Amino acid sequence: MKIFYVANVRFPTERAHGIQIAKMCEALVRAGADVTLIVPTRGSGDPFKYYGLTEQFEVKRVWSPRSVATTFDFLFSSFVFGIMSFLFLLRHKSDCVYSMDLDPISYTLLPLLRRPYFFELHGPKRKTVPNRILFRYIAGIITIGERVKSELEKNFPRLREKIIVKPNGTDLTAHNHVKDDARALLGITVEKPLAVYTGSPLGWKGFEVAVEAATRLPDVAFYFVGISADDFAKRGVEIPENVSAIGRVAFRYTALWQDAADILFVTGTQANEYSYKHTSPMKLFEYMAARRPILACGTPAIRQYIDEGQAFFYEPDDAESFASGIRDILSDHASAEARVKNAFRKAEKLSWDNRAAEVLAFIKKQI
């Protein structure tokens, strides 16, 4: 089956959506599909080396403006990419087109292709004219959670029977270092327990609560991988002595930082609807595969994928609850180990290969 995957994204990128796209393309190839990824020219570098991919697929870059510094620049670039990718698709045959919700413009021409197209949605959609047209002719939708599915079906009843729910996946082979070896490779010499976060500095992540909690846990070393000191400063967050802001690292080092941890934590916030209700953080599934105790924000979004049998929870935006969760993990080793084992068993079912195989089966069924 020939699939054109259209993604308006800088590629490769350290952002989570780039990782998801790369891993899904690789897994779809392993599942038997012939995949061509269509991306803008603003990306550069070897994605196969960057993401450590072992399966080859074609990456076709179509021209679009490189500047996305302002909202207008991004929207204009998305508009141009939508036209250029559409012209490419008109000239090349495929069994279907696959795309992801990355901007509000570039996908609007897909209904004119007159071939099956599928959309991956990580959040609900409003009843706009472009969305009505998009969903009127769509062959199928892949969402990351039941809440997104329910809201889509509520707003667009014709989508019933056209949606499957597939959470993000994880790479079970990425974690191959014992804790001490990982710390030695990273040059970590502190004697304190390590609580590690790997993710981006986006405001809706709610990571500030962990910094506040760190002030109550001086005997724990906190490492924020993917967040720099400048990122904290921009948000007016002062960094305590036991917090290290590592900044962005190459993708291949993310799993190494997770392997070095005693505790891995994933944050969220009630102040942002997407964070509270809909997000499907890939780091959560990576944590499960890393076989480390997890402290997770108790949002409905995160509780869709993991429960008290697999992780410890804290109340959203509550620093004392966060600190209490860290203390519980450090003091109750038996409970922590049991949850680690349960989380890994669940992670085994959430591999990218399993996800891609089920998505491909859905595509074949719909067309």
Domain match, 304 and 315 both:
yes
* Residues written for the chain: 367
User: Domain holding 235: CATH number?
Assistant: 3.40.50.2000
Domain match, 58 and 161 both:
yes
Which pairs from 111-120 meet CB under 8 Å and 24+ separation? 111/136, 111/137, 111/138, 112/86, 113/86, 113/89, 116/140, 116/363, 116/366, 116/367, 118/142, 118/363, 118/366
Q: How far apart are CA 286 and CA 55, in angstroms?
A: 20
Q: How far apart are CA 268 and CA 273, in angstroms?
A: 10
**What tokens were used for 113?**
């292709």
Q: Is the dihedral of CA 61, 63, 64, 65 positive or negative?
A: positive
The gap between the terminal CA atoms of the chain, to the nearest Å, is: 11
Nearest by Cα to 248 from 13, 21, 14, 12? 14
Domain match, 22 and 141 both:
yes
Domain match, 160 and 191 both:
no
DSSP of 113-166? G-S-EEEEESS-----HHHHHHHHS-SEEEESSHHHHHHHHHH-GGGTTSEEE-
Number of C-beta neighbours around residue 239 at 10 A: 15
Does residue 200 contact residue 226 with C-beta atoms inside 8 Å? yes
Domain match, 26 and 97 both:
yes
Would residue 343 count as lying in a domain? yes
Strand partners, 314: 297
Would residue 174 count as lying in a domain? no
Nearest by Cα to 22 from 1, 42, 45, 2? 45
Domain match, 146 and 236 both:
no
Domain match, 297 and 317 both:
yes
Domain membership of residue 35 as a residue range: 2-169+351-366
Domain match, 144 and 203 both:
no
Domain match, 190 and 245 both:
yes
Would residue 273 count as lying in a domain? yes
Give me the residues of the chain with pLDDT under 50, please: none
Does residue 50 contact residue 14 with C-beta atoms inside 8 Å? no
Q: How many domains does the chain have?
A: 2
Would residue 184 count as lying in a domain? yes
Domain match, 128 and 147 both:
yes
Instruction: Tell me the pairing of strands 194-198 and 263-266.
Output: parallel
* Backbone angles phi and psi of 241, in degrees to 5: -65, -30
Q: How far apart are CA 278 and CA 139, in angstroms?
A: 23
Give the distance, in angstroms, between the CA of residue 274 and the centroid of all CA atoms in the same chain: 13
Task: Quick: pLDDT tens for 32-47.
Answer: 999 999 999 988 889 9
Place of tokens 């996908």: 107
Would residue 197 count as lying in a domain? yes
| pLDDT for residue 246 | 97
| pLDDT for residue 356 | 97
Q: How far apart are CA 9 and CA 39, in angstroms?
A: 6
| pLDDT for residue 158 | 92
Domain match, 276 and 254 both:
yes
Domain match, 250 and 138 both:
no
| pLDDT for residue 202 | 82
